[in-house]
Amino acid sequence: MNLLKNEAFITTSDDNALTLTTHRIRADFSSGSEARFTSIMLEHVSSVQLSSRSFPFLIGLAFLLIIGGIAAGSDRSTNSSVPAVLIAAGVLAGLAYFFYKQHNCIIASDGGSRIEFSTSGMKRDTLISFLDKIEEAKDKRGSL
pLDDT digit string (tens) for 79-134?
Answer: 778 888 999 999 999 999 988 888 888 899 987 888 988 887 778 888 888 889 98
* 48 and 61 assigned to the same domain: no
What is the domain range of residue 81? 57-99
Distant-in-sequence, close-in-space partners of 79: CB < 8 Å, separation ≥ 6: none
Which H or E run contains 29? strand 24-31
pTM above 0.85, yes or no: no
117 domain residue, yes or no:
yes
- 102-140 in b/e form (b: 16+ CB < 10 A) is ebebebbbeeeebbebebeebeeeeeeebeeebeebbee
65 domain residue, yes or no:
yes
82 domain residue, yes or no:
yes
Helix 81-99 and helix 57-74, axial crossing angle in degrees, nearest 10: 160
Number of domains in the chain: 2
3 domain residue, yes or no:
no
1 domain residue, yes or no:
no
User: What gap in Å lies between CA 19 and CA 26, rounded to an integer?
Assistant: 5
* 86 and 63 assigned to the same domain: yes
Q: Are 87 and 71 in contact (CB under 8 A)?
A: no
* 14 and 49 assigned to the same domain: yes
Q: What is the pLDDT of residues 49-84, one digit of tens each?
A: 888 888 899 999 999 999 999 888 887 776 778 888
* 16 and 84 assigned to the same domain: no
* 41 and 73 assigned to the same domain: no
43 domain residue, yes or no:
yes
72 domain residue, yes or no:
yes
